[in-house]
Amino acid sequence: MKPKIKVLLVDDSAVVRQVLSQIINAHPKMEVCAAAQDPIFAIRHMHKQWPDVIILDVEMPRMDGITFLRKIMSEHPTPVVMCSSLTEKGADTTLQAMSLGAIEIVTKPKFGVKGFLGESADEITHAVLAAAQAKVRKFQPIATNIAKKLTADAILSLPNTSAMVRTTERIVAIGSSTGGTMALESILTQLPRVSPGIVIVQHMPVAFTGAFAARLNTLCEVDVVEAKGNETILPGHVYIAPGDRHLLVNRSGALYKIELKDGPLVSRHKPSVDVLFRSVARYAGKNALGIILTGMGDDGARGLKEMKDAGSVTLGECEKSCIVYGMPQEAMKRGAVGKELSLAQFPSAILDYHRSGL
């Protein structure tokens, strides 16, 4: 039998430690090896037994989570899931943690924590499983009811006709999940102002997508925003799906526009990469480039195949550069990926695609 994933909890709230322990110990594939109220106590436990995954609070006494994370990732890289409050400050700090190498985010409110975490049990165990599969790199200075797994049919039906004819307007659609924040930053910061319009679904809690877009906007030449709905997709602009809405692309004349839709989880996610890719297949077809990056699960695999069948150019991140080779691998299995590239190759591939349509 495969050993259980050993999880270390580091949070100054006894209630949070108790609830997380119950959720993790109830899952057949994981167990809590220790629970500490701050990083100083955590270090003592880690000297006795090093964990497979750490769930780490951001704000704690004696040593904050960011300082502890930087120490871990520079000395002994370990998969870390950040346990962050649903506040603007919490979002900004957690994004800093993601840039240092944290893999996933688990959210918690200021009040009603016990009930909130209990309702989020499936999300929490999914985050731990994803982190356990991740390839972490050195930082350089479920015992719950699983909802029915829906497909993109729940939001947008399959097209019964081919996409509109080719135009000079081209767009890029990107889907990513675990490890995607770092991958997207790596790609977008390398793009010049003269780039195609880009739409992105990154699996991320709703409180963080706006802060993520704002952070990228300070680092990139292209304009990066959280999508609000009804925008025209413009060259030199990047639109990131909000964490609680599906992002779809539709067409108005020769222009492509963004539509945001509420609705059920698709491939267990909202926003869903499958929904984005299906809409691009329907309304852009040969005028689009689809890219699937690092992530756990199979969201985006079906949609990318639909894009390829509609005439889109399709690319997937190769296993070597992926934090988690899940989504790209599933897309490869379905024959959805025209070519695999390493993370470093995507900026030039996007620009080459853009120039070929000029």
Q: Is 352 an annotated catalytic residue?
A: no
* 288-292 β-sheet, strand order: 223-226, 237-240, 197-202, 171-176, 288-292, 313-317, 339-341
Sign of CA dihedral 152, 353, 342, 239: negative
Among the listed residues 27, 84, 126, 203, the single catalytic one is 203
Q: Is 203 an annotated catalytic residue?
A: yes
Q: Is 244 an annotated catalytic residue?
A: no
Measure the CA–CA gap between 30 and 51, rounded to whole angstroms.
11
CA dihedral of 144, 124, 296, 138, whole degrees rounded to 10:
-150
Question: Could you tell me if 142 and 4 are in contact, meaning their C-beta atoms sit under 8 angstroms apart?
Answer: no
Question: Could you tell me if 97 and 58 are in contact, meaning their C-beta atoms sit under 8 angstroms apart?
Answer: yes
Q: What is the biggest distance separating any 2 CA atoms in the chain, rounded to whole angstroms?
A: 64
Measure the CA–CA gap between 183 and 216, rounded to whole angstroms.
12
Among the listed residues 85, 177, 267, 272, the single catalytic one is 177
Helix (H) or strand (E) holding 47: helix 39-48
DSSP string, 95-127: HHHHHHT--EEEEE-SS-HHHHHHHTHHHHHHH
- 288-292 and 255-261 strand pairing: unpaired
Q: Omega into 28 within 30° of 0, i.e. cis? A: no
Among the listed residues 11, 38, 274, 299, the single catalytic one is 299
Measure the CA–CA gap between 8 and 3, rounded to whole angstroms.
15
Residues taking part in catalysis = 177, 203, 299
